[in-house]
Amino acid sequence: MKSLWTEFKQRPVWRKVCDIVLVLFALAGAAIIGAWGLYQLGVTNNRGAVDKNYRYLMSVGEMQKLKGAELTPEQTDSLWADQLAQLSVMARRHPVNARLILHAAAVSDDPSLIGPMVAAAGIYMADGAGTTDRRLNVIPWMATPEWEALKVAITRDSALIHEAGRLTGVEPRLIVGCLIGEQIRLFNSKREMYKKYLGPVKVLSVQSQFSYGVNGIKDFTAKAVEHHLKDRTSEYYMGPAYEHLLDYPEGVDTAEERYRRLVDYGSHLYSYIYTGCILHQTMLQWRRAGYDISDRPDLLFTLFNVGFSQSEPKPNPVPGGSHIKVGDREYTFGAIGFDFYYSGELASAFPFQRERFANTADGLDVSAIQASMTDCNRPERGSEYRHADSTAAPATNALDDDEEPDPFGIDHSKVQPVKHTAQ
């Protein structure tokens, strides 16, 4: 080591500079490769946290849901009367929430929903943390202009979400709960860009770095979903009808095609299909271990957020997930999904279903799913690992000199206004 230092001091200045630059490049390369390796191994995953209101979320999630079909007409009428009396008390202070809850129960034709929904809103009423303005939703993050814009964007995708629910056997409202958690998280991590680009045109953010699509699904998670569909010995196996759901056309580069599926600005169907599979597979894992969490949306959203590696069936699980700050209040991913699920928002587009999970014995038309992909201008896969001024960096759309590129990859000249009905 001493001889190397002596030799280095004897070199000319230009040689010393070259040596230093080479060492710096080597260290930078090692850091990039190390970060990539940690990401691929899942070490960078957010292990999440327990939600501070987890006991309340658990009590709501564990409420026994009455099956209206098993009641006589007289019993159903009596249940409606009891539940409406409970709702009328809430309506005095929070008429917006009372209206949403009543509408959701009516659309779903299920009076037993009112109790859990009132209790869910009660989380914010009990500790005085909710919105006090009677004209607004009591849930603070739902009393924002951003939520109003996000509702419009989600409603535009309602047909795709329902199709994904049909294909995966999952209640569409559960898929939407995962979507909202991820979109709210993105909004708060890129607040200024969201206000400038996504808010005005009311579209969903599509991720193309590290996590992909509108639901932020990692590459290794998508590969695991595909493996679970095929492996009949897996605790996540969904059944023979689903084995070919995510098959690839022959001769394609599966890694590249998987990226194209998820990073699709024109159609988010594959993002929703992978989401539905994750929910269904995780539920089956727990059910096979002796724990039925199909009636625990708070846990399903949490497990979607933390990933397969942290899904460990056990008694008395608690909801939570990654922390998301909206305004001056901090939420967990599981709590945001839970808030939406029981809020009554978007009930016309995504009504409650009596069974959150269903299995199909019918074959699924994979070719029709594959044909849903659009030929949009995606960033080159792997570009997140390249330096911004690299000659191999992905090309962007041609722009005027004074026009900034959309950081979410959206071509605003092609965004068309869509008629919609938002809750």
Q: State phi, psi for 151 to the nearest 5 degrees.
A: -60, -40
- Would you state the pLDDT for residue 67? 44
- Would you state the pLDDT for residue 296? 93
CA 186, chain centre distance (Å): 10
Q: Give tens-digit pLDDT for 162-198.
A: 999 999 999 999 999 999 999 998 877 666 666 655 5
Look up tokens 């929070």; give the residue.
94
The token pair at 348 is 């016309």
- CA-derived radius of gyration, the chain: 25
Torsion on CA atoms 72, 75, 81, 87, rounded to nearest 10: -90
CB-based burial of residue 258 (10 Å sphere; 0-12 exposed, 13-18 middle, 19+ buried)?
Answer: buried
- Would you state the pLDDT for residue 365? 84
Strands, DSSP E only, in 162-257? 207-209, 211-213, 217-218
* H or E element, residue 324: strand 323-326
Provide the residue count of the chain: 423
pTM over cut 0.85: no
* Whether 194 contacts 186, CB under 8 Å: yes
Q: Where are the domains of the chain?
A: 2-34, 145-384+409-414
First to last CA, the chain: 71
Q: How far apart are CA 408 and CA 198, in angstroms?
A: 8
* pLDDT less than 70: residues of the chain: 1-11, 13-70, 127, 189-201, 361, 384-423
DSSP for residue 50:
E
Q: Give tens-digit pLDDT for 196-215.
A: 555 566 788 899 988 999 99
